[in-house]
Amino acid sequence: MHKVVVERPRWNPGPGKNNRRANLPDELRPKFEGIKRPHSWRKGLTDLLGPLKRWLHAQVGRPWNDVYSEAAAVIKPDSIIRAHIKTHLLEFVERNTFMHGGKVCILQTHSYFCRPGITPVTELRHRRSTFYVHPETFLLYKIPDRSRQRRPDPGEEHRKLTVRWLSEKTLLRQLNGHWFKCHMEKFPDQFAKGDSPWRYDHAEKKLIRRVDGRNIYGSKAYCVAKEQLSQRELRKFRIANQNKVERSLQPVIVLAG
């Protein structure tokens, strides 16, 4: 387990190993070199914590003392790497829990990411803790995942009034009070080398990017052609143009007779 979690495999295994010079001609090899030099930078350390989390997830519902005893029997503190794994194991589990207001809570200390005070385990943020020990049953439980709140879209309400998708490549859009049928094309997921991220939008009459298309149409698309709807099409889609008539108020002059 400790090798899987902490130690990465060797880089580029096989005949083309990194810094290997066995296949180089003599004129390209160094004349003087240390023994360890060709084999340097071939292994690295990392924290692959997925296997450790999956093992803890499989222990949910069991007494924490039994889970920790089994882990301590394997992760013995005889090396720095094994002790490092035990540190991550204890970081994933909230053990100092207590009941407060009918909820399992912990006492958070002051830090940059969270406010100090009593906090339910279901409301923890910016912490590595994924599991907790129930203070009454001493069983291991998983902290429920919190649903991520979607960022508010400032143009969503405006699009509901001015944009109506008919198909994947066709939509109706209101421009200056008049409705148009727009033929759309999607931005590529990945641009080819040398390809410009800008596309000309015939409805906006300017170059736009993917982020602009998402803000205007709610999708990463741009308009390639548009045509104004006829009266028959307006009745078909049950929409109407907005006729803006500006009336100038003329002052009334009364002449005394």
pLDDT at 3: 59
Contact between residue 29 and residue 20 where contact means Cβ atoms under 8 Å apart: no
| Inter-CA distances, 196 with 79, 190, 199, 210, Å | 53, 11, 8, 11
pLDDT range class, residue 257, cuts 50, 70, 90: very low
The pLDDT score that the predictor gives to residue 34 is 75
- pLDDT above 70: residue 109: yes
> Residue 252's pLDDT is what?
43
When computed from its CA atoms, the radius of gyration of the chain, rounded to whole angstroms, is 33
Q: What is the mean pLDDT of residues 161-185?
A: 94
Render pLDDT for 122-134 as a digit per residue (tens, 0 to 9): 887 666 788 999 9
Span 8-39, pLDDT tens digits: 555 554 444 544 566 667 777 777 777 766 66
CA atoms within 13 A on the CB side of 84: 15
Mean pLDDT score across all residues of the chain: 80
103-108 sheet: strands from edge to edge? 98-100, 103-108, 117-120
Lowest mean pLDDT among 64-73, 123-132, 176-185: 123-132
Domain boundaries, the chain: 2-11+41-142, 156-237
Burial class (CB in 10 A: 0-12, 13-18, 19+), 250: exposed
For 243-255, the pLDDT digits (tens) are 754 334 344 444 4
Contact 132, 93 (CB under 8 A): yes
- Token digits for 122? 């279901």
Q: How far apart are CA 174 and CA 239, in angstroms?
A: 10
